[in-house]
A and B are shown apart, each in its own frame.
Chain A
Amino acid sequence: MTRGAGDLMDYRVTIGLETHVQLKTQTKIWCGCRNRFGQPPNTDVCPVCLGYPGTLPVLNRESVRLTVMAGLMLGCRINERSTFDRKSYFYPDMPKNYQISQYDEPLCLGGRLEIEVNGRKKSIGITRIHLEEDVGKSIHYEQSSGVDFNRAGTPLMEIVSEPEIESADEAFAYLTALKQVLLYGGISDCNLEEGNIRSDINCSVRPVEREELGTKIEIKNMNTFRGVHRSLVYEISRQINVLNDGGSISQETRRWNDETGVTEAMRTKEYAHDYRYFPEPDLMPVVLTREQIEGWRATIPELPGDRRARFVREYGLSEYDAGVLSADRNVADYYEEAARASGHFKAVSNWIMTDMLHAMSEGAIPIQEVKITPGALAGLIDLVDRQVINRPSAKRVFTILFEKGGNPADIVEQEGLSQVRDTESLETYIDEAITAHPQSVSDYRSGKKAALKFLVGQVMRLSKGKADPQMALEMLRERLDTG
């Protein structure tokens, strides 16, 4: 969608993403400190995650399961034997002066993620997924920096993509699809505001006719998908401009400045590392049995893409509606429960797609906290279907159910919203409307059909919105045509 001066067509773009995902565990990866966000600084810490000498890490079992689950959902091979390594670096946010990571024997290898950009489907390869620890967080003062180690030791999974992403839009679609899968699997909360997902970008461009890849630029530590998209749009056109002007790209690490909307070269000192990986002597290898892996595989939920396809097939929904309803696992679960209770698949979809999602976003309420149960929504749809209430009344009942919960039939009763469908009562309203508006009656009889609609409106008004509009229309027409 975003395109430079038309020059973009002469170049091919190659992008790879390294995505760090914080796992949804109770505790940190090597110690029993809580894994949570938003606590006062340095309150979820212990000698292990503060890197005190003489302490030993003990691997959190759940972090292994979650990483393997992510691998299985992305179609990876799971290494039956996997080991940890030390990655040496000296930085105040890393109290041990090394990060425990996985180097040559990660938990998961090879996989794929399906994406869709402008209706075109594409599959992006996953190179590997390894498990490591997150580092502390620093804030900067005038003359010094402050460090908070609450985040240090949070289980972190790094998902490395193949360099098969070819545009900013594809990068955005990749991250969106990845987030959906991880949310479906309950692997991470994927809360971007809390830094649950952070990506490093590798990006290069080359003239279409050239075989070998262009020089790679790295953009570090992107914490929003929109930032990834914007920085790539900028970086791709920057690189193409340099090449168009006869210049060359030198390999460097850049930082995205969200305020100015440009990437800036980082000084070499900021990223000069000499990691010197070596096997972590404090941790034993992880050996997984076939049975264990297959046992976990059996617990994989239906993937978002599969569910979308099934919604189209099973409930006759449009691709678009199925996509919206399956995007969030909780919304999808809600839809299915209500659809099964109701049997009116399309009507349930309409109510959720319009009234429900609208009310949820207005109140910033996740569907798990919505007061109207799937059964109540099905009940409401049934009342409309049996013509007990008309549409405007149904909207009122929905609003009440959304705010307070309860049983739709009771609310219809309490609010006196039952549709007036007995001919006797309707006749009374019709008599009243005709008497009050003789002009409309003669207008209709002289051929102005619109006058009939006006009279139906009068009947609705007199009945306080409870008359069945279709019945009122038919009875009025019959009366005026014959009378």
Chain B
Amino acid sequence: MMAQESSKNTRHIDVAYVAQLARMQLSDKEVPLFQDQLNHILHHVDTLMRLDVDDVEPTSHPFPGENVYRDDEPREGLAHEAAMKNAPKTRAGFYVVPKILE
């Protein structure tokens, strides 16, 4: 189930659609405003795309390195109260969020 969804055209971003996925509320004025700004950024990316990079290995990290691990040893985390402190709403130890699955 992974391949088909991810291969969508990355040169166009539908702001209204992405906002919906990201659960952001944009006003009718904001949609064209951000669409326009994003198009500018993508236009710049298009310029970069014209470079011939066939012989260049994709770089996911700016410096070389590998095998950064931690040992499987427990460490103290956050106290429950601290973890909940900034939550706008809690209930019986849970973070309360708008209803999932509408």
- Which residues from chain A sit less than 8 Å from chain B, CB to CB? 18, 25-27, 31-34, 40-47, 49-50, 58-64, 83, 87, 89-93, 97, 103, 138-141, 143-149, 200, 202, 218, 267, 269-270, 272-277, 279-281, 283-287
Task: Give B75-102 interface residues, CB cut-off 8 Å to A.
Answer: 75-78, 80, 83-84, 89, 91-102
- A143 to B100 Cα, complex, angstroms: 9
Docked-complex contact A26 and B2, CB < 8 angstroms? no
Using C-beta atoms within 8 Å of the partner chain, give the interface range for chain B: 35 or more
Considering the complex, give the chain B residue whose CB is closest to the CB of A270: B101
Main SS of chain B's interface residues? loop
Which of A63, A146, A202: most chain B CB closer than 10 A?
Answer: A146
Give the Cβ gap from A344 to chain B, nearest Cβ, in Å.
43
Considering the complex, give the chain A residue whose CB is closest to the CB of B94: A146
- A33 to B70 Cα, complex, angstroms: 12
A to B contact number (C-beta, < 8 Å): 151
Q: List 20 A-B contacts (CB under 8 A).
A: A26-B72, A27-B75, A32-B77, A33-B77, A34-B74, A40-B93, A42-B93, A44-B77, A45-B83, A59-B70, A60-B69, A62-B72, A83-B60, A97-B22, A144-B99, A148-B94, A148-B95, A275-B2, A285-B66, A287-B67
Contact of B74 among A26, A139, A145 (CB under 8 A): A26
Contact of B102 among A87, A90, A269 (CB under 8 A): A269
Considering the complex, give the chain A residue whose CB is closest to the CB of B8: A274
- A333 to B6 Cα, complex, angstroms: 47
Which 4 residue pairs across A and B have the least CB separation, nearest first? A32-B75, A146-B94, A279-B60, A46-B77
Contacts of B98 in A (CB 8 A): 92, 144-145
Contact of B95 among A42, A60, A143, A269 (CB under 8 A): A42
Give the Cβ gap from A25 to chain B, nearest Cβ, in Å.
5
Docked-complex contact A279 and B83, CB < 8 angstroms? no
Contact of B65 among A97, A139, A145, A284 (CB under 8 A): A284
- A410 to B76 Cα, complex, angstroms: 50
Considering the complex, give the chain B residue whose CB is closest to the CB of A40: B93
Contacts of A58 in B (CB 8 A): 68-70
Task: Give B49-77 interface residues, CB cut-off 8 Å to A.
Answer: 58, 60-61, 65-77
Docked-complex contact A144 and B96, CB < 8 angstroms? yes
Contacts of A140 in B (CB 8 A): 99-101
- Which residues from chain B sit less than 8 Å from chain A, CB to CB? 1-2, 5-6, 8, 10, 17-18, 21-23, 58, 60-61, 65-78, 80, 83-84, 89, 91-102
Docked-complex contact B68 and A59, CB < 8 angstroms? yes
Contact of B72 among A18, A27, A40, A103 (CB under 8 A): A27
Docked-complex contact B78 and A60, CB < 8 angstroms? no
Q: A27-B75, A50-B78, A59-B68 are contacts. A145–B97 as well, Cβ < 8 Å?
A: yes
- A292 to B9 Cα, complex, angstroms: 40
Docked-complex contact B21 and A33, CB < 8 angstroms? no
Q: Given contacts A32-B75, A146-B97, A147-B94, could you give 6 more A-B pairs where the C-beta distance is less than 8 Å? A: A50-B83, A145-B97, A146-B91, A147-B95, A279-B60, A281-B60
